[in-house]
Structure 1
Amino acid sequence: DVELWKQVFQELIQEVKPWHKWTLTVDKDLLPNSLKPGWSQYKHRAFARFQCSLCSRSWSSAQVQVLFHMHKSARNPRGKVKMRVFAQRCRKCSESPFEVPKFTEENISRILNNLVFRILKKCYREGFKSMEEIPTIKEISLEGPHDSNNCEACLQGFCAQSGLVKGNAMANKGKALPQSWYSGSTTATMLPTHWSPRTNTYHHAERRIRVRTWSQQPFSHGTPNLRCWNLNVCWCFLILIVVVVIIIET
């Protein structure tokens, strides 16, 4: 499974930086927001499946945390990525070990697509003016709350749902929702705006904004102006008639 992550990552990074050498390694001790100088972070919440090694029970979760730390050399065209996937354990077994999640190849590709976008943005200062994260595919419909008592990320204080709670609280106060982990706008530099790594792994929907012309504006805005203009014309025409009558009589 780790080799698949490395293979897909190499394919994606070579599409955009073919002359640069990047490596992807697994680091089980990686911690969020604990960065060395010059390193950047990317966090992704994804869908994956688990299976207990004791009772063979299987379950799915859409709150699986994937953490990346990345660093680009300032002197050489090289870069490093460290990855950690947080585990979960079976809630029915009393002393069950933490199990490593299993991702589909499609979701691995989507997660790494997002990672490559973050590398371009944070390490190369390249990117799009607006950037949306590619979500992982949920294979089944999930019900019930997240099992935080058996989630490795939650137990270590890296709660999967902390952002959702804060977001809902701010929404109730009428404030704007906070930006996600990956968000932020950058000015496009060298990267073509039509490019997207592994474009066959997802459908990118463009946002189109329709600009109305004056004639297409809603009647609530156009009607008062039109009535005012008609009224002015009527008054001018009436005054003109009065002037003509006065001239004729004199």
Structure 2
Amino acid sequence: MDHQEWKRIFQTGIIHPHHTWRLEFTDDLLSANETTTQYKRTTSAWFTCRRCGRPWPSNEVKVIFYIRHADDQGTVIVKVFGQSCKNCEEAPMETPQISLENIEILMHELVEMIKIYFYHEEDSGRRWNPIRLVINSTHEPDHCEGCKNGMCG
């Protein structure tokens, strides 16, 4: 996953002209506290097993944004949840390959949420839905990192 693309798109959504915002990524599940706001989204992506090479699509890819804002500084820490291959025993969690279009949608939603929540701007009413993939099977909670951490459902 190319984090630079996420950061570029996020920065083009200039949230406040006199405030600085950073976008960072983590593989860890963080806990929210009194200085952190959580914003959860669902998107679509492809996965590929690094063991057997099997690809699979999912419309249930969970993304959590941990948002901190103080004075004129803001930080968003992104956690993208993986999925494991159902064909491989003890398969590792794979990183989703999210399309550029869906990254743009996630970033637009995030910027809009920050503007409303932290700067009390009016809700534009615009909603961005992820570009969904054609899938012939159901979501498999046993192979979903989001489900295992209580983020799905």
TM-score > 0.5, shorter chain as reference: yes
SS in 2 for 1:69: strand
Cα deviations across residues 143-162 of structure 1 (Å, max 9, x unaligned)? Answer: 23211110001112222xx2
SS of residue in 2 equivalent to 1:123: helix
Instruction: State the Cα distance separating 1:30 from its structure 2 match.
Output: 2.9
What is the aligned partner in structure 2 of residue 208 from structure 1?
Answer: none
1:102 corresponds in structure 2 to 97
More strand by share: 2
Confirm or deny that 1:137 pairs with 2:131. Answer: yes
* Aligned partner of residue 6 in structure 1, secondary structure: helix
Which of the two has greater helix per residue? 1
Q: What secondary structure sits across from 2:76 in the alignment?
A: strand
The TM-score with structure 1 as length reference comes to: 0.58
Choose between structure 1 and 2 for higher RCO, CA contacts under 8 A separated by at least 6 residues: 2
- Structure 2 letter corresponding to 1:85: V
For 1:99-178, list aligned pairs within 5 A: 99-128=94-123, 131-138=125-132, 140-159=133-152, 162=153
Checking the alignment, whether the CA contact within 8 Å between 1:87 and 1:151 is kept in structure 2 is yes
**Residue 36 of structure 2 is aligned to residue 39 of structure 1:** yes
Of all paired residues, the percent bearing the same amino acid is: 35
Would you say 1:64 and 2:61 are equivalent positions? Answer: yes
The total of aligned residue pairs comes to: 152
Distance 1:127 1:103 in 2: 29
- Verify the 8 A CA contact 1:69 1:82 in the aligned structure 2: yes
Instruction: Give SS of 2:119's match.
Output: coil
TM-score of the two chains, using structure 2 as the length reference: 0.92
Root-mean-square deviation (Å): 1.5
Superimposed CA distance per residue, residues 65-110 of structure 1 (whole angstroms, 9 cap, x where no aligned partner)? 000011211x3x2111011000001000112111000111111011
Mapped contact 1:64–1:86 kept (Cα < 8 A): yes
CA distance in 2, matches of 1:117, 1:89: 32
Gaps of 5+ in 2: none
1:10-29 map, 5 Å? 10-12=11-13, 14=14, 16-29=15-28
